[in-house]
Amino acid sequence: MAEITEDCPECPVGIPAWMATFADLMSLLMCFFVLLLSFSEMDVLKYKQLSGSMRDAFGVQRQINVKDVPKGTSVIAQEFSPGRPEPTPINEVRQATVDDTQSSLEIGERTPQEPKPDQTLDQKSDIKVTVDEELAKQLLVEKLQTLIKATEDDARNLASALKKEISSGKVDVETRGRRIIIRVREQGSFPSGSAELRRQFRPVMAMVRNVLKTVPGKVSVEGHTDSMPISTSVFRSNWDLSSARALSVAHELFSGDTLDHNRFMVTGFADTKPIAANDNEENRARNRRVEIVIHQGLDDETSEELKKMQQIDPGLIREFNLDSTFILTPDEVF
């Protein structure tokens, strides 16, 4: 059988026309994927977590070197402080744990300037304590102001009852904090060098007695003299004279037995507590006096609050004209 052969047709010169379209398409696809890659972002933490999942599962991982925020711990919050843009001296953030179930790790290295987490909590606690102290102080001040106003009201009522004696200069009434001071001057009350109360002054003591029935508080009857020494057959010194005058006033107040004697204390101070310099006769006359001091004190709750607040603001005692005596309750004053 004869073999039939045919010649291959001659190929055209140059590449086929479809190759140009294919090359353009490939170029466009490559540019598109390059553009997508440039917009993409790699999550290093997630990549490391995925790549090390097997080691975590077998519990062999004890130390992790990371370059990103590890397990929710803010590197920025721990390594930098607001207003101090200084670079951290730590080049590598290292964390360590021996507990596989621990949700967060501890920073392995710190700079001396870094505050510890518990210090931050302490600072917040200090701020809260400070706010509470300021609120407690404000409430205490308001309470003290109310109590002192009540004392001032009692003093006004007493001054109104002794208006005639006050205008004649025989008696003075004033308040200091929770104290009411009825100052009986020597003029009209005692003869010079004597502790016997004048008869015409007894109605004044009766008015004071009636007022003391309605005003609460302990009562201190205090005798005072000037600095001129005295030495007689009756009084050996100013101490004797001041104590005797205070006792005479107390006995006059006890007349009629209408006042509770347990409220009273009688004291002689001689010339140790002058209200004016003993440099002339007028001032010495002012120092010769008997003072009836009503100590109204503080209630138990306010007394305890003031004792605690003294450690924070000792100036409250001076601000409200109080002293250690009036930190006590009325029942504890004497």
151-184 pLDDT, tens digit per residue, is 888 888 888 888 888 888 888 899 888 899 999 8
**Contact call for residues 177 and 148 (beta carbons, < 8 A):** yes
**Contact call for residues 155 and 296 (beta carbons, < 8 A):** no
Nearest-angstrom CA–CA distance, 215 and 274 = 27
Residue 320: inside a domain = yes
Residue 247: inside a domain = yes
Residue 287: inside a domain = yes
Q: What are the beta bridge partners of residue 63?
A: 96
Residue 300: inside a domain = yes
**Contact call for residues 233 and 312 (beta carbons, < 8 A):** no
Residue 47: inside a domain = no
**CA angle (215, 224, 243) in 5-degree steps:** 85
Tell me the residue range of the domain where 285 lies. 132-332
* Per-residue pLDDT tens digits for 83-95: 555 555 555 555 5
Residue 18: inside a domain = no
**CA angle (273, 276, 278) in 5-degree steps:** 90
* Per-residue pLDDT tens digits for 188-225: 788 888 889 888 888 888 888 988 888 888 999 999 99
Residue 172: inside a domain = yes
Confidence of residue 14 (pLDDT cuts 50, 70, 90): confident
- What CATH code is carried by the domain that includes residue 192? 3.30.1330.60
Burial of 142 (0-12, 13-18, 19+ CB in 10 A): exposed
Residue 151: inside a domain = yes
Residues 6+ away with beta carbon under 8 Å from 133: 312
Query: Would you say the pTM of this structure is higher than 0.85?
Result: no
Nearest-angstrom CA–CA distance, 285 and 225 = 9
Predicted pLDDT of residue 241: 93
- The two three-digit tokens of residue 103, written as one number: 């949700």
Please choose, from the candidates 222, 302, 295, the residue with its C-alpha nearest in 3D space to the C-alpha of residue 263.
Answer: 295
State whether residue 200 is helix, strand or coil: helix
- The two three-digit tokens of residue 12, written as one number: 């055209």
Q: Number of folded domains in the chain? A: 1
